[in-house]
Amino acid sequence: MDIFNVFSIIGTIAFAVSGAIVAMEEEYDILGVYVLGLVTAFGGGVVRNLLIGLPVTTLWSQGYLLKIAIISMTIAFVLPIRWILRWRRSEAFFDAIGLAAFAIQGALYATQMKHPLSAVLVAAMLTGIGGGIIRDVLAGRKPLVLKDEIYAVWAMLAGLAIGLGWFQSTVELLILFVIIITFRMLSVYYKWKLPRRSLRGAFAASDHAAAARKQKINKEDE
């Protein structure tokens, strides 16, 4: 088994279980658990394939990953509640594992097809975050990638490192895997954030001023 398949398996297990747990939190039935788990595990890869020129049907050639995902979701579904609660406390860590594994897998996919660095970055990002975005949208949640803590940047960092040839051997890729997980967990723990500009306060002030003017005009008319 080559390193590409190792990362595929790790990412599939982590994201399939993640999707299954989210489905159970939202009180979906068993079919919903499997649907959300499969979407989380394979959604990013499907989007990546569309953008880098691979047919979506290549998914069906990865039957072993489908079996692994189904087994993982089944185990998650029958786990005792106390184990699931324990997993919830470590949710960010397992999500970081899936993010790192799939980001590296997506970058390797693009480099094997001789795509330019820009495509490698996009492939790494979409493979790493795509499934999670679809999961959160279907569950009616704000996608994790759109929250404050840095998320997608680490997937792009993996793509950059692989696209520039800094990490190529099996050992180097495993080191990169650990690095991405570490940075993601540090960003969660220390709440590292990207710059943002909120217009909520400005809009609220503008609406309040408009309401005050309207009220003043109504009083003058009286």
Q: Please say whether the beta carbons of 155 and 129 come within 8 A.
A: yes
Q: What is the pLDDT along the chain (222 residues), one digit of tens a residue?
A: 677 788 888 889 988 998 999 999 899 999 999 999 999 999 888 888 888 777 777 777 778 899 999 999 999 999 888 887 777 677 788 888 889 999 999 999 899 888 999 999 999 999 998 988 999 899 988 887 776 568 889 999 999 999 999 998 989 999 999 999 999 999 888 888 877 777 666 666 665 666 667 676 666 666
- For residue 29, the model assigns a pLDDT of 93
Q: State the DSSP string of 70-139.
A: HHHHHHHHHS-HHHHHHHHHTHHHHHHHHHHHHHHHHHHHHHHTT--HHHHHHHHHHHHHHHHHHHHHHT
- For residue 206, the model assigns a pLDDT of 65
- For residue 154, the model assigns a pLDDT of 92
* Token pair belonging to 206: 């503008």
Q: What's the pTM? A: 0.81
Place of tokens 């786990």: 79
Three-state DSSP class for residue 163:
helix
* Token pair belonging to 74: 């089944």
**Single-letter code of the amino acid located at 174:** L
- For residue 6, the model assigns a pLDDT of 85
* Token pair belonging to 14: 């982590």
* Token pair belonging to 197: 């500009």
- For residue 222, the model assigns a pLDDT of 61
